[in-house]
Amino acid sequence: MNEYVSEKNGVFPSVCSLDCPDQCGLLITKEDGKIVKVQGDPDHPVTKGNICNKVRHMTERIYDPKRLSFPLKRVGAKGEGNFERISWDEAIETIRMRWSKLIDESGPESILPYSFYGNMGKLNSEGMDRRFFHRLGASLLDRTICSDAGSTGYKYTMGGGFGTDPEETINTKLFIFWGVNAVSTNMHQVAIAEKARKNGAKIVVIDVHKNQTGRWADWFISILPGTDAALALGLMHILFAEELTDNDFLERYTVGHKQLKEHVKQYDPKTVSALTGVPIENIYKLARMYGETSPSFIRIGNGMQHHDNGGMCVRTVACLPALVGQWRIKGGGAIKSNSSILNHNSEALERLDLLEKKDTRIINMNVIGQALLDKDQPIRSLFIYNCNPAIVAPEGNKVRVGLAREDLFTVVHDLFLTETAMYADLVLPATSSYENTDFYTSYWHHFVQIQQPVIEAYGESKSNTDVFRLLAQSFGFEEECFKDSDVEMIHQGLNCNNPHLLGIDYKSLSEKQYIKAKRKSILEERLPTPSGKIELYSEALTIQGFPALPSYMPLVKESEHPFLFIPAPNHNFLNSTFSNNEKHVRLEKVARVHLNETDAFKLGIENGDKVRIWNERGECELLAAVGQNVLPGVVVTQGLWADALGTKYFVNALTPDRIADMGGGATFFSGRVSVEKLSQN
């Protein structure tokens, strides 16, 4: 029995553990030891009682009959999915034996942990796991798949993940949702914007796909993929030329505005229109709207940065609020990510000091396919948790050839027998976050939240922290930190010198469930850029070989395939999570590829036709959605679908594993494909 789990029926506070900016406060109704209902907490100032469809149907996932409840070992060939039940003792002992042998033969760097944020809890995503692998001396993983290109670009301008407090955007008069499908991926920002709209705010969406967010906008601007920096520079051109800039702000709080003014002369509206596909008059209209409306707020999405030029693109867009002085207006500014505001004590949780070899190799998670096929310094074992690389990683066919290697010893810890787990030698059952103790920091709003377990562990499943404690014990690691309880780890993680977190600790969180960080406006604090100011001109960029001023850099033209391919997330899944749960699949129905009607006409494709999309890396088959939702030359899909459906929706079979310009980021949206109609329907 877990001492924190109440035996009583009732309603318990909780927090959504999914990798979503909204990080909702939840209320969980429990009857006879089981969760029967998941709702938004009406008192949570950001959630306000509303949650997405995905999590409202969470019980279907927690009690899905396919959920894993005991450890398994593989009995057939890799990928076939034949497993038999084993005990935890056998599982842990097998890992200890296999890894001890590997360490003797090839050193600990032959072992690679592979994880992401399937669970955003700090302890379960970057706590005991890090301690264990650092002490073991395993290869390090650079976790770059999501937002690193853009975060790095944003940092050159703003010094870190600092943006507007989203709650203040209730006052905003102009919202620009830029490369973000917020209706699906940040619904509470949409709810706030919707309220502001009742007070006269206008909503502009800039995207390559007129999806649910574009349809919701007052004004949708269609743009060619990878050209957002050009549009931003065109806006700057007009803002300077028409004296719509806030010169006092530029003088006081920025570096390089005079050079920038000269530099953007080359980005005249005609040039920019040719690059972006945005009509000249719309570039003028948007620039004037941005120059004349206050407060204005830009929500910078991850879509625009999953490109070859993603870093520079975000760096460039992030300069805009400074030009019009919006950082000093309540409700003005931008958010790419607010993650730096809630920085916790990661040194204490992760214990990098336990890693003996300081030059331990680092593997970028985006090139896991290449890395698994590399014969020089082979990866001989993988431990995968909080992540489903067989579906989510780029160059997916390469990843799967790698995972199928008979000589690779793979352990997968998950709630389900995911596509990745199908390739495992050992599969370990994971608890859901509702069964764990943890704390959470959002990368969008400013609340820290706590999770106390609401229900007992499902079957024999274990949390990530418990699995790594067991492994540490079996390896005989003596350090005290491997004995820390989850509660002790929360104390350690919140014991830090971040002034925003003052007064937030285990005790106060246990009482209040969520606490808002104390935060000054961006301008009251020295920005952690080299100059302490907003850097329109960045010397640091030149050291890395980039232009110091924001610039447009075209995408790599990787092949002659006629279409740019944008395989984005969908509404009812969370990356690949829920893509194996019937309820969510039913809500999403089928995978479609959106193409422009002129392209469709040329290819003889009609709405609803089955089409094949392919390139040198692979192929998939989807149903055509023909219309004007994308520009000619662009095709868009939504969702990372499970194979188990028997479909050929595996979009990452087509995506490149090139690395973006900055931060080692992914380039999911910079690939090219061909499209053809399939004869049978």
Residue 308 site contact among ligand MGD, ligand SF4, Mo ion, none (CB < 5 to 8 Å, cut-off depends on kind): none
Q: Pick from 342, 325, 303, 88: which is nearest to 206 by CA?
A: 303
386 contributes a contact to ligand MGD by CB under 6 A:
yes
Q: Pick from 644, 453, 615: which is nearest to 12 by CA?
A: 453
Which residue lies nearest Mo ion, judged by its C-beta? 146
Q: How far is the CB of 552 from ligand MGD (least distance, A)?
A: 12
Fill in the per-residue mask, 260 to 299: x = in contact with ligand MGD (CB under 6 A), - = not in contact.
----------------------------------------
Nearest to ligand MGD of 291, 310 (CB atom) = 310
d(CA 319, CA 313): 10
Please report how the helices 228-241 and 310-317 are oriented relative to each other, as an axis angle in degrees rounded to 10: 30
Q: Among residues 55, 91, 141, 146, which is the contact residue for Mo ion, using CB under 5 A?
A: 146
Report CA 257 to chain centroid distance, whole Å.
32
Nearest to ligand SF4 of 20, 564 (CB atom) = 20
Residue 568 site contact among ligand SF4, Mo ion, ligand MGD, none (CB < 5 to 8 Å, cut-off depends on kind): ligand MGD
642 contributes a contact to ligand MGD by CB under 6 A:
no
| 295: preceding bond cis by omega (within 30 degrees) | yes
Nearest to ligand MGD of 537, 578 (CB atom) = 578
Q: How far is the CB of 592 from ligand SF4 (least distance, A)?
A: 22
Structure tokens at 327: 């950082």
d(CA 51, CA 188): 8
Structure tokens at 124: 């379960």
Nearest to ligand MGD of 541, 555 (CB atom) = 555
Q: Which stretch binds Mo ion (CB under 5 A): 142-150, 523-531, 540-548, 613-621?
A: 142-150
Q: Among residues 20, 190, 504, 605, which is the contact residue for ligand SF4, using CB under 6 A?
A: 20
Given the DSSP bridges, would you call strands 254-255 and 219-222 parallel, antiparallel or unpaired? Answer: unpaired
Q: How far is the CB of 349 from ligand MGD (least distance, A)?
A: 16
354 contributes a contact to ligand SF4 by CB under 6 A:
no
Report CA 60 to chain centroid distance, whole Å.
24
Radius of gyration of the chain (CA): 25
End-to-end CA distance of the chain: 54
* Neighbouring residues of 198: CB distance < 8 A, sequence distance ≥ 6: none
Q: Among residues 651, 660, 662, 675, which is the contact residue for ligand MGD, using CB under 6 A?
A: 651
Q: How far is the CB of 259 from ligand MGD (least distance, A)?
A: 26
Nearest to Mo ion of 146, 272 (CB atom) = 146
Residue 127 site contact among Mo ion, ligand SF4, ligand MGD, none (CB < 5 to 8 Å, cut-off depends on kind): none
Give yes or no for a contact between 573 and 388, defined as CB atoms under 8 angstroms apart. no
145 contributes a contact to ligand MGD by CB under 6 A:
yes
Q: Which of residues 46-65 bind ligand SF4 (CB under 6 A)?
A: 51-52, 54-55
Nearest to ligand MGD of 537, 573 (CB atom) = 573
- Helix H or strand E segment including 143: none
Residue 187 site contact among ligand MGD, ligand SF4, Mo ion, none (CB < 5 to 8 Å, cut-off depends on kind): ligand SF4
Q: Which of residues 14-33 bind ligand MGD (CB under 6 A)?
A: 19-20
Structure tokens at 63: 């009690």
The secondary structure of 343-356 as a DSSP string is ---HHHHH-GGG-S
- Helix H or strand E segment including 26: strand 25-31
Give yes or no for a contact between 285 and 364, defined as CB atoms under 8 angstroms apart. no
Q: Pick from 446, 451, 465, 430: which is nearest to 577 by CA?
A: 430
Q: Among residues 187, 272, 314, 454, which is the contact residue for ligand SF4, using CB under 6 A?
A: 187
673 contributes a contact to ligand MGD by CB under 6 A:
no
Q: Which stretch binds Mo ion (CB under 5 A): 144-152, 183-191, 335-343, 629-637?
A: 144-152
Give start and end residues of each alpha helix (H) in 11-127.
53-56, 58-62, 88-106, 122-126
Q: Among residues 5, 13, 18, 260, which is the contact residue for ligand SF4, using CB under 6 A?
A: 18
Residue 16 site contact among Mo ion, ligand MGD, ligand SF4, none (CB < 5 to 8 Å, cut-off depends on kind): ligand SF4
* Neighbouring residues of 131: CB distance < 8 A, sequence distance ≥ 6: 349, 350, 351, 354, 468, 472, 479, 481, 482
Q: Which of residues 547-566 bind ligand MGD (CB under 6 A)?
A: 566
129 contributes a contact to ligand MGD by CB under 6 A:
no
Q: Among residues 26, 208, 367, 371, which is the contact residue for ligand MGD, using CB under 6 A?
A: 208
Fill in the per-residue mask, 407 to 446: x = in contact with ligand MGD (CB under 6 A), - = not in contact.
------xxxx-x-----------x--x-------------
Q: Pick from 95, 668, 81, 90: which is nearest to 403 by CA?
A: 81
618 contributes a contact to ligand MGD by CB under 6 A:
no
Q: Which of residues 546-585 bind ligand SF4 (CB under 6 A)?
A: 574
Buried b (16+ CB within 10 A) or exposed e, 505-528: bbeebeeebbbbbebeebeeeebe
What single DSSP character describes residue 657? Answer: -
Structure tokens at 579: 């893509």
- On the 0-12 / 13-18 / 19+ scale of CB atoms within 10 A, 460 is middle
* Neighbouring residues of 285: CB distance < 8 A, sequence distance ≥ 6: none
Positions touching ligand SF4 (CB under 6 A) are 16, 18, 20, 22-24, 51-52, 54-55, 187, 574
Positions touching ligand MGD (CB under 6 A) are 19-20, 116-119, 124, 145-147, 178-181, 184-185, 206-209, 211, 223, 225-226, 228, 301-304, 307, 385-388, 392, 413-416, 418, 430, 433, 464, 566-571, 573-577, 636, 640, 651-652, 655, 668-669
Positions touching Mo ion (CB under 5 A) are 146
